[in-house]
Structure 1
Amino acid sequence: MRKRWALLTAGLAATALGAASPAAAAPGAGAPGPDRLNWSSCGDPATPALQCAMLAVPLDHARPHGAKIKIKLDRLPATAPTAKRQGPILLNPGGPGDSGLWMPAYIAGQMPADVAAAYDWIGFDPRGTNGSEPHVVCDPHYFDAERPDYQYEHGTAKAWLEKAAKYAADCAANWSSVLPHMTTEDNARDMDAIRRALGVQKINFYGGSWGTSLGSTYGQLFPSHVRRMVLDSIVGPAISWYDHNILQDKEHERRFHAFAAWTAKADSVYHLGGDAKEVIKKYYAMEDALRAHPVPAAPATGNIGPAEFEDTFYGGGYNFLRWPRMATVLSAYFTKHDTKPLNIAYNRYAAPGPDDGAFPNYNAAQCTESTWPRDWEFWKKDQAKVNAVAPFYTYNNMWYNAACMFWPSPAGKGRLKITGKGLPPVLLFQATEDAATPYPGGVAMHKALPGSKLVVQNGGSFHEILFHGNACLDDTFAAYLRDGTLPSGKGFIAKTCTPEPDPEPSYIEPTANAKTLRTGVPVTGPEAVHGRL
């Protein structure tokens, strides 16, 4: 049954945030007021100090006294002496729309003790998602298996067009008043509402993936309220979302070939052939086999067909630590006629959650922030050109974004132009082989932000390159948060770091079957991937 949400208009009772440093505190920051936050324990046994709150913000920031929605936040409070505290740092993992509530405990735990103690680490759920209210759901079964084949030459174009159009219509039917207000700029204005509720003049920020678009947008709108800002794995500031997807397609193709070459070198482990072309041939042969004979997806419902198979594998372009499990899936199938590793990998990486997760926010941001072609004939011809050079991901990505052909909210004036005027130096991190936010985005953002410092991981491929144990990267981040120290290099690239080594090949025996959400709670640990971007 479809539900319409009665928008919340009540204000919040409040208590002030723990004391910030004089540089971060606003005049009268300790005074009570209607915009303060009422923090209480999150009840998290793993992190007892973690506190949660809800914040009412305007649905439409142009009408501050109109209907209200609520943003869910959590914080890990600073523990340093008052004089050494550096104020709040807001955290966002990307998406668009992914939950940031896991980030305070996780990122603070990666920091040197003095840096962890100096900040109030703030996570939040973007408007309309997860624990924020309303939680926008358009079609809770949109990602259910078995989905139509992504390769539309198998006769599935009509099914996908109908599916995408219905999804957009379902969103419009229930959320027409909310969807136009779920853009990156809306979320950036929510961040400033959080700042005001925290009672500080300036905030710090870390964002990865789409979070780099969110952070740079906030910096453009509110430069005087930025103290320090870190952007990790960067979306170019001016590129259209449609064109950004084409860049992704080509980079994912390169990463797929890198996986195939790595697997071929480990032929003694996986027995898939000693040449990358042989491995790639077997990948597509397995997809063809699943096209003819899908396998049950238990404990997830439905079957694993070609679409689910592709979704299980594309995450390897985000995080190469998934490669051993991916190679095991192929090896088990071709050497043992065994689909258990496929089933485990699908449930771990690609099975859907109980609703469509962050997908409404993803569409609401992307479909309205830049103009998308609305003509299927254009898509078909244009995407066929891309698929000719990048068949691994192109049609998967195309159908994931197809709702933009039918999206009910018209495209706005385009993405906010980023100039960096008035901003302090911003620290940028970018890997050269990142498939989700390709390297040109980091270059373009560095050019757009005067005074920014660009740290490049040459040959690196992680999407969101911090917090993987690379001291060159992580120590640079920590030094900046500790006292504002920036890399001293004078060239276009201020610092270059080496990549992590490829994983050791190993056949992963099917001993676990941990399910994860398709667009929701990420896999934890080293194999984690956060966000579609």
Structure 2
Amino acid sequence: MPSMRKVIALLSAAAAVAALTGASAGASTGAAVPEGAGQGKLVWSSCSDTTTPALQCALLDVPVDYGDPHGPKIKIKLNRLPATAPEGKRQGPILLNPGGPGDSGLWMPAYISGQLPKDVASAYDWIGFDPRGTNGSEPHVICDAHYFDAERPDYQVSQGTSKSWLKKAAGYAADCAANWSWLLPHMTTVDNARDMDSIRRALGAPKINFYGGSWGTSLGSTYGQLFPTHVRRMVLDSIVGPTISWYDHNILQDKEHQRRFDAFAAWAAKADSVYHLGTDAATVEKAYHQVETALRTDPVDAAPASGKIGPAEFEDTFYGGGYNFLRWPQMATALSGYLTRHDTRPLSIAYNRYAAPGADDGTFPAYNAAQCTENAWPRDWEFWKKDQAKVNAVAPFYTYNNMWYNAACMFWPYQGNPAGRTKITGKGLPPVLLFQATEDAATPYEGGLAMHDALPTSKLVVQTGGSFHEILFHGNACLDDTFTAYLRDGSLPKGGGRIAKTCAPEPEPTPVYVTPPPTPATKNTTPAAPLSPTAPEAVHGLFRTVDGLR
């Protein structure tokens, strides 16, 4: 096994070679692609979806490198729910992306159209797709199928695991480079935006509509910058600021996740009669750290997932509360069960629901391929160690978890773009509708303001006090009706200034101890049943356990 110093040296050398040979962010994206160059065709067939029989699926050939449109091809998986309105009332295709980078959009056509009045839903062709290199697109990039297997090293640097994490992150970057050097430099946001235009051409549409959330807002705004005349309507929900570096964006996330964890602790403290975790937020947070400390010496069986729930898996189970506060009753139950009833089942069930890894490393290659190459990242561990310690001093809940999640960028073999991500000016775009919650932890509020400032034609709708990540489709009429009106006829909020409209937040969830189902008398291999009775929680693609933007 090579030493850590040797691994770092090898990865640094690979990065230098990549920089000299042009395998850097943007290397494939500088030249405009001639209309139709390297264009594949769509052949639709039934998706065999029994829930939504009208869904059609297809694969589309697109160039690996848009700078060489007649070169090697890969395939993009997409589906559509066709418009059913009379021809004269149809409004064209609407492409959908939930974020990531790399999350599948194939669930979105049926789900989102199902949230809308029939006259609006029937007017569009709803198009979902899997970004290049992910999910059902071909190839599906896997760098290390076991990277997220439990039990992983402790995230906290105070536990002496930094060398283990550096070796793990460097090894992941090396594995990606060893197998996917021909594709990884061409998996940026710009490449995905060009894929969207390939989809548009294959659909035969002069313009597309677009809805994107989270990283999908970066994808949509990039598409609008590259192809403004091809945009009809665009909605961006929970917005990545257009100018901030990915490294600095993570620091904003750390601070906002701390605020959301503090809010969870205050909520649980008010429900001490239910959870018995303490009557003030500080005591609840102490209970959280008490469980994490215990798991360092006595991890919990993760069944039906494999491995053990140690401190890293425990943290991953809880950070998702920053995305969706409807998880708070399950989170508080996990702490309460462990501490007051000596019952680890709620923790195991919560881990399996929110944090257990899939069969491989999922969209993590796509996440790194975009984020590590769209900005120049610090490459010096000593810088990270000192800088992240400053952040951890004010935001200890999430800082080191997030740091190690992004540590592969320290070793990524393709140099980040010193110029940063695509500059967004909004020139030539039609009116764009923006949605942003003030307490969003994954895409902090500053991003919504910055995107509005960058897009002169945009209207910004702010949910004051809202904390969901991706704020549409939670039953908030103020938000959802604004979205519906825009899709119906292009109507926009009338307000001027930076914020065109404000909406109230949803109420916090009712505290309830979520009792686990009875333990079966004999061991079986079926997945654990959901916590029951379940506090109301919308479980769909918008509430990913691992959002690429974390």
TM-score (norm 2): 0.89
Superposed, 1:380-459 pairs within 5 Å as 380-412=385-417, 413-459=419-465
| Rounded Cα–Cα distance in structure 2 between residues aligned with 1:457 and 1:529 | 23
Task: Choose the corresponding residue for 2:286, options 277, 281, 285.
Answer: 281
Aligned to 1:6: none
2:356 counterpart of 1:351:
yes
Aligned to 2:306: 301
Aligned to 2:234: 229
Amino acid at match of 1:492: R
CA contact under 8 A between 1:322 and 1:527: conserved in structure 2? no
Aligned to 2:86: 81
CA contact under 8 A between 2:39 and 2:61: conserved in structure 1? no
2:306 counterpart of 1:290:
no
Offset of residue 526 of structure 1: 8.9
Aligned to 2:548: 532
Change (3 A) 1:526 1:490: closer
2:216 counterpart of 1:211:
yes
Unaligned runs of 5+ in 1: 1-28, 516-521
Superposed, 1:73-152 pairs within 5 Å as 73-152=78-157
| Rounded Cα–Cα distance in structure 2 between residues aligned with 1:81 and 1:157 | 61
CA contact under 8 A between 2:83 and 2:90: conserved in structure 1? yes
| Rounded Cα–Cα distance in structure 1 between residues aligned with 2:211 and 2:439 | 21
Q: Percent identity?
A: 79
2:231 counterpart of 1:251:
no
Query: SS at the partner of 2:420?
Result: coil
Deviations 1:346-376 (A, max 9, x none): 0111000001000000000000000100000
Task: Choose the corresponding residue for 1:501, options 497, 507, 531.
Answer: 507
| Rounded Cα–Cα distance in structure 1 between residues aligned with 2:250 and 2:423 | 19
Query: SS at the partner of 2:497?
Result: coil
Amino acid at match of 2:514: I
Aligned to 1:465: 471
Aligned to 1:513: 528
Aligned to 1:360: 365
CA contact under 8 A between 2:323 and 2:543: conserved in structure 1? no
| Rounded Cα–Cα distance in structure 1 between residues aligned with 2:227 and 2:427 | 10
Deviations 1:127-152 (A, max 9, x none): 00000011000000000000000002
TM-score (norm 1): 0.91
Moved over 6 A (4+): none
Aligned to 2:495: 489
Instruction: Provide the aligned length of Structure 1 versus Structure 2.
Output: 496
Query: SS at the partner of 1:110?
Result: coil
Query: SS at the partner of 2:122?
Result: helix
CA contact under 8 A between 1:248 and 1:438: conserved in structure 2? yes
Offset of residue 295 of structure 1: 1.1
| Rounded Cα–Cα distance in structure 2 between residues aligned with 1:389 and 1:372 | 22
Amino acid at match of 1:246: I
Cα RMSD for the two superposed structures:
1.5
Change (3 A) 1:510 1:241: same
| Rounded Cα–Cα distance in structure 2 between residues aligned with 1:86 and 1:392 | 46
| Rounded Cα–Cα distance in structure 2 between residues aligned with 1:230 and 1:384 | 37
Aligned to 1:23: none
CA contact under 8 A between 2:303 and 2:348: conserved in structure 1? yes
Amino acid at match of 2:69: P
2:267 counterpart of 1:262:
yes
Query: SS at the partner of 1:72?
Result: strand
| Rounded Cα–Cα distance in structure 2 between residues aligned with 1:473 and 1:59 | 38
Offset of residue 458 of structure 1: 0.1
Amino acid at match of 1:524: H
Deviations 1:415-468 (A, max 9, x none): 000000000010000000000000000000000000100000000000000000
Task: Choose the corresponding residue for 2:171, options 160, 166, 171.
Answer: 166
Deviations 1:381-436 (A, max 9, x none): 00000000000000000000000000011112420000000000100000000000
| Rounded Cα–Cα distance in structure 2 between residues aligned with 1:491 and 1:410 | 39
Offset of residue 292 of structure 1: 1.3
Query: SS at the partner of 1:118?
Result: coil
| Rounded Cα–Cα distance in structure 2 between residues aligned with 1:490 and 1:224 | 25
CA contact under 8 A between 1:308 and 1:350: conserved in structure 2? yes
Amino acid at match of 1:43: S
| Rounded Cα–Cα distance in structure 2 between residues aligned with 1:531 and 1:50 | 25
Aligned to 2:70: 65
Query: SS at the partner of 2:482?
Result: helix
Change (3 A) 1:237 1:434: same
| Rounded Cα–Cα distance in structure 2 between residues aligned with 1:530 and 1:57 | 27
Deviations 1:85-143 (A, max 9, x none): 00000000000000000000000000111110000000000000000011000000000
Deviations 1:463-483 (A, max 9, x none): 000000000000000000000
Aligned to 1:7: none
Unaligned runs of 5+ in 2: 1-35, 518-526, 531-537
Aligned to 1:12: none
